[in-house]
Amino acid sequence: MEQNNAAGAADSGAAGRHAETAGGFPETADIETASDDYATRFSGAIGAWLLQVQENATARMLADYPGASVLDVGGGHGQLTPYLVRNGFDVTVTGSADSCGRRLEPYLGNGQCAFEVANHLALPFEDRSFDIVLSYRLLTHVTRWRELVAELSRVADGAVIVDFSSVRSFNYIAPQLFKLKKRIEENTRPFTCYKESELLAAFAASGFERGDRYPQFFLPMAFHRLVGSPGFSSFKEWGLRAIGLTSLMGSPVVLKMVRR
């Protein structure tokens, strides 16, 4: 893992603050991710386009698992819930505090998905309880990432799907550009970039191997938000993917690990 020290310290401090409101859970970055303020990062036409790219990548990863039981760890942001419910998956979402379920209320009242407050390093489920385990917007903001990987793997029967920021991308220089990124996005926060090889090794220790990967963007998401044009962004990213740059240096990467 490649972790910027300033980013790691900032995330550790945030985790400590959130732990006070989440029963002492050690990794609680999803409380912020599930907030209304965080959701504004994906507002408007450009936000909808960014989420559509993510949804398309997720659909690709789940194509072989129709109607599967899915655990969305730290998924209170609700970014995946509409797609999962619409496509007939049996969905359970975990969050570090009751507040993490608020954005899921339209789906909870009629039983379209379930929500549980949970310690993400000690999930309250038996081994291999779910066909698929998803976790987006979480791995990049935790410090005890190996424990998280092991726990996601423990409760997954078929596959684990995560997203992460790669060191082989513009994201790696984000700490140097953080002030500029903050001016563009306003509510951004530091994050950790990973070597994919280290993630693969951690999953391999739990009996998983790589099934698929999909780097979402070559250009930084902050750039797309600044430009604010889905048509322009879609055209640029299509061209960069066509010549192979996104495969080499795209981020965030959606990574699917399957049980051996």
Question: In terms of pLDDT, which residue wins out, 133 or 23?
Answer: 133
Check residue 175 and give its pLDDT: 53
For the stretch 71-122, pLDDT in tens is 999 999 999 999 999 999 999 999 999 999 999 999 999 999 999 999 999 9
Confidence band, pLDDT 50/70/90 cuts, at residue 16: very low
Cα–Cα distance between 63 and 157 in angstroms, integer? 16
CATH of domain 5-259: 3.40.50.150
Cα–Cα distance between 180 and 176 in angstroms, integer? 9
Check residue 217 and give its pLDDT: 97
Those residues whose C-beta lies under 8 Å from the C-beta of residue 73, and which sit 6 or more positions away, are: 94, 118, 120, 123, 133, 134, 135, 138, 152
Give the pTM.
0.86
Cα–Cα distance between 166 and 252 in angstroms, integer? 6
Instruction: Give, as one character, the DSSP assignment of residue 43.
Output: -
How many Cβ atoms are within 10 Å of 42's Cβ, its own excluded?
A: 17
Mean pLDDT along residues 226-245: 97
Those residues whose C-beta lies under 8 Å from the C-beta of residue 221, and which sit 6 or more positions away, are: 50
Mean pLDDT along residues 2-28: 48
Say yes or no to pLDDT of 229 above 80.
yes
Averaged confidence pLDDT in the chain: 88
Say yes or no to pLDDT of 17 above 70.
no
Check residue 9 and give its pLDDT: 31
Check residue 200 and give its pLDDT: 98
Check residue 191 and give its pLDDT: 76
For the stretch 174-213, pLDDT in tens is 555 545 555 555 555 567 899 999 999 999 999 999 999 9
Contact 61, 161 (CB under 8 A): yes
Confidence band, pLDDT 50/70/90 cuts, at residue 69: very high
Question: In terms of pLDDT, which residue wins out, 119 or 18?
Answer: 119
Question: Would you list the domain boundaries of the chain?
Answer: 5-259
Lowest mean pLDDT across 59-73, 157-171, 227-241: 157-171
- Structure tokens that stand for 67 in this block: 């109607």
For the stretch 153-172, pLDDT in tens is 999 999 999 999 999 887 65
Say yes or no to pLDDT of 10 above 70.
no
